[in-house]
Structure formats: C-alpha cells, structure tokens
Amino acid sequence: MEPYRIKVVEPIPFTTRQQRQEALKRVNYNLFDLRAEEVTIDLLTDSGTGALSAAQQAAGMAGDESYSGSRSFYRFHETVTELTGYAHILPAHQGRAAERILFSSLLEPGQISLANTHFDTTRANVELAGCEARDLPSPESRDLDSTQPFKGNIDLEVLRATLTGPDASRVAVVVMTLTNNGGGGQPVSMENLKQTAALCRQYGVPLFLDAARFAENAWLVTRHEDAYRDHTPRQVAEEAFRLADGCMMSAKKDGIVHIGGFVGVNDPELAQKCELLLIATEGFATYGGLAGRDLDMMAQGLNEVLEPSYLQERADIAGYLAKRVRAAGVDIIEPPGMHALYLNAGRLLPHIPPHNYPGHALSCQLYLEGGIRSAELGSLYLGKEDEDGNPVASAPYELVRLALPRRVYTRSHYDHIGDTLEKIAKDTHSVYGFRIVDQSPILRHFRAKLEPVPVAR
Ligand SMILES: *Cc1c(COP(=O)(O)O)cnc(C)c1O
C-alpha cells in the first residue's frame, strides 16, 4: 500500500469524450497545447510533478531567504555532501542549468562526451559547448522485450575501444545517466559503474553521474544485483556517487521538488570555474537561482526519496500498471523500471506506418478515450520527412511514455489507465494515423500541428 495518507487534495478535471474531441481539434492534435485543466490523468512527465510531504512543506515555511549564507543553504549543503561526498556543491534551478554550468566549464569545442545515453537536454548542452555527445548503450538495450535487469548499462567494450582508439584524445568526459531515461528508464548496475570508473581512472577521463533518478537506480540495484541485496538504497547511492568525480542532478525527479537541482564536483579548479559561471548566470553560489525555501524542501526530499517503503511502493505501482497493460495486450519496454512505462505503439498499431506516427496516434487515443496525457517517443520526436511529407528517417521504435508522477496518483487512477488501454487495444482499427501540417525546424514535437489521416489496412 502507499506508505502515506493524504492530507491535501486537488480536484482532477472530468471531461466528456465530446469535449476531448473538440480540445484535440483546437490544439491541432498536439497534446502539449492542451490546458492542463483539460487533462484527467497527466502522465506527460515525472519532472517537478511530485507531491510534497508535510515535512517538506514545513521545511519550506522555515526557509531562510537571506541572499547569501542562508540557513537553508547550509542544510541543503550538508545533506548533499553527506549523500554524495563531493567536495564542492553548487545549487542550480534545475537539471539543465546544472548541465550548462558543468559542461561550459569542463568542455572545450571539438571534444567528445561519452554516455550510456545522453538525456536530450544533456546532449543539447554538450552540443552547445561545441562538442559531440556519443551514446554507448549496452547491446541488451536494443531488445525491448528482454527482461535483463540492467539494460541501462554502458557498453564497456565500446567504451574501452573509444578510450584507446583514434578519438581517445578528444574524450573529455564520461556521463552515466542513472537511471537511463533516454533508454527506457532502465537501471545501471554497480558492477558496470565500477568498471566504467576503473576505465575512466586508467585513461584519465573524469566520470560524472547524471543523477536525476539516483534513488530509483539504487532501489533496483538492491533488488537485482546479488552483491547488493543486503544494502539499503542509501548505501548503494552513497557508493555510486563516490565512484564518480562529480554529478549533475535534476531534483525535480528524485529530489521530489517542483524546482531544483545541483552540481557536485571534487576538482577545486573546475568547481571555481563553475561557481563563477553560476554567479554570473544563475545566482549567488549559496542559492543558485532558487529561493531558500526551495533548498530546504530539496534537502528534505533527497532524504525522503531513499526511504525503502517509498521506493518499494513506487516500484510496485509501476509493476502493477505494467501487469494491467500487458493483460490488455499492449507490449512495453521490459522490464518496467520505476519512473515510466514505455508502450510499444509500433507493435500495437502495425497498420499505421512510422511516417503516420503510431506513437502519436496512441497518445491521442489515450487522451480521447480516457483523458490521459502521455508523451510520444517515436517518429514524431525522432523522425524526419522531406518537404512533401515523404519519410527520410524514422525512429528505431514507436513508443509512448507514461511517466509516473511521485506520490500523486493512487491505484484507482492506475486502474483507469489500464481500463482505457484495454478499450483501445480491443479496437485498434479505429485508430487513425497523423500527418504534420506545420512544424518548427528544431524540437518539432513540442510545436508541431497535425491532422488525422485515414490509413490503409
Ligand atoms: C529531466 C532530466 C534532465 C534535465 O533536468 P531538468 O530539471 O528538466 O532541466 C537531465 N537528465 C535527466 C536524466 C533527466 O531526466
């Protein structure tokens, strides 16, 4: 059961099918343009959408809003230092700010960042620094149906080959994303992290963690890695941070706050560079673009997130939804992970070709039938067409992500998601494809306008 009871509630909106049909038309079938008030269950993201605890709210009320040296900063600093062990901790307003501060200070144009998989803002910040972001996912990650527990691992052989190959002198950093968000939310094993750290040390390349979901990764390690079965999630997390030279973190995930993040580094010279950039662009080094109350709530959240009862329930509810989804006849990226389920829309809707966006079609259908908002991760997001709409490139998989906000929805909400998918899966032939009628040159999935097209079957 949920290891909490509910003290503050927010009504969720109910709409009719007719209203949702009209809303879809009005926003040109782009779910980003819906008003949140038109969404009954919002699974667009697990970022900044969690519920605060009473203790977090109380900590926020006691926040110290001094410009520098606030009590809130020292509480935050102590918590993060204890957790990570890094010598220098800098707050930032969210993950991508931490990424920009770190990469602008660490990288020189022309260098390479290697990762198990760069998250999209991580990639963008590496590229903005004039560098190449190269993904080295493990071979198992390519098989969506494989239930191997650590599909988030980096490919150690390719890593070694890169660190000893012709590009070796240009490799400036290795990033491990815990859990691997771009790769289906799959965890990284401690064994893989240790071997990566050893290779990095051997070849003199710094290792950084993208720690957005460090606690969920730690939980999955205690469940599936034999050497860690008797460890607490905190012990695993503390060990993981200490294998790396630093980290950047979006606390909107495993900090369970609405805004917040930080950079941690050991190297004093790098820390100084980051600090100056932070002061120039985010805020003074003891608040980093946040309010004192945000720092207090983040400190409290970073402790709560490692509670075994919290992590156990989060894994259980993801597993519960996965079971409902499979029973409805819809395949997911296996195993289910913790922060999201990734539906295999390509397999569910084989009559819709990639350039008619089966993922987007399923996403729209989830909204139409159930008022559920999700995110397409398929050819609308990753594909390309020529000016006449003929496909040039399509995504490797047509997926829909159901992100699970922390401590927000209960089992009956999850049942509604299962029921809705069951209904859709029984009548896939009524699901239409889409065509883009207007798009932006970059990040098109955010702004594209679409219209439904009947597809041949
Ligand atoms: C969300 C996320 C980020 C970016 O953080 P924001 O707080 O959204 O800026 C970076 N890396 C990963 C793995 C993330 O999930």
Tokens of 43: 């699974």
* Minimum-distance ligand 1 atom for the alpha carbon of 96: 9
> Tens digits of per-residue pLDDT, 211-262?
999 999 999 999 999 999 999 999 999 999 999 999 999 999 999 999 999 9
Instruction: Return the best residue to mutate from 100, 103, 135, 181 for the ligand 1 pocket (most ligand atoms within 8 A of CB).
Output: 181
Active-site annotation holds for 416: no
Residue ranges in the chain modelled with pLDDT below 50: none
Output the six-digit token pair for 381: 């997001």
CA neighbor of 357 nearest in space, from 290, 451, 278, 283: 451
Q: What is the pLDDT of residue 457?
A: 55
Residue 141 beta carbon below 6 angstroms from any ligand 1 atom: no
How much is the pLDDT for 182?
A: 74
What is the Cα gyration radius of the chain? 22
Q: State the Cα–Cα distance between residues 23 and 91, nearest whole angstrom.
A: 39
351 is an active site residue: no
Over residues 94-139, the pLDDT tens digits come to 999 999 999 999 999 999 999 999 998 999 999 999 999 999 999 9
Query: What pLDDT was estimated at residue 406?
Result: 98
Residue 342 among the catalytic residues: no
Question: In the prediction, which pLDDT does 233 show?
Answer: 98
Specify the pLDDT at position 456.
61
Gap between the Cα atoms of 100 and 86, Å rounded? 19
Query: Is the CB of residue 46 less than 8 Å from the CB of residue 253?
Result: yes
Ligand 1 centre distance from Cα of residue 94 (Å): 8
Cβ of 344 less than 6 Å from ligand 1: no
Q: Is the domain covering 17-39+308-453 a CATH 3.90.1150.10 domain?
A: yes
| 224 is annotated as an active-site residue | no
Q: Is it true that 17-39+308-453 and 54-304 share their CATH fold?
A: no
Ligand 1 pocket residue status of 252, Cβ below 6 Å: yes
- CATH class belonging to 54-304: alpha beta
Helices (H), 27-64: 54-61
pTM greater than the 0.85 cutoff: yes
Contacts 24+ apart (CB under 8 A), 269-276: 270/105, 270/106, 270/246, 271/87, 271/88, 271/90, 273/105, 274/88, 274/90, 274/101, 274/102, 274/105, 275/88, 275/90
267 assigned to active site: no
**Hey, whose CA ends up nearest to atom 6 of ligand 1?**
95
The CA distances from residue 224 to 87, 144, 311, in Å, are 31, 18, 14
120 given a catalytic annotation: yes
pLDDT for the residue numbered 382: 86
What are the C-alpha distances in Å from 298 to residues 238, 301, 321?
Answer: 17, 5, 28
Largest CA distance in the chain: 65
Q: What is the number of helices (H) and of strands (E) in the chain?
A: 17, 16
Which of 175, 210, 282 to mutate for ligand 1's pocket (most ligand atoms within 8 Å of CB)?
210
Ligand 1 centre and the CA of 212: distance in Å? Answer: 6
Residues 131, 94: contact at Cβ < 8 Å? no
The domain locations on the chain are 17-39+308-453, 54-304
CA angle centred on 27, ends 25 and 30, rounded to 5°: 105
Strands of the sheet containing 340-344, edge to edge, are: 340-344, 399-403, 375-377
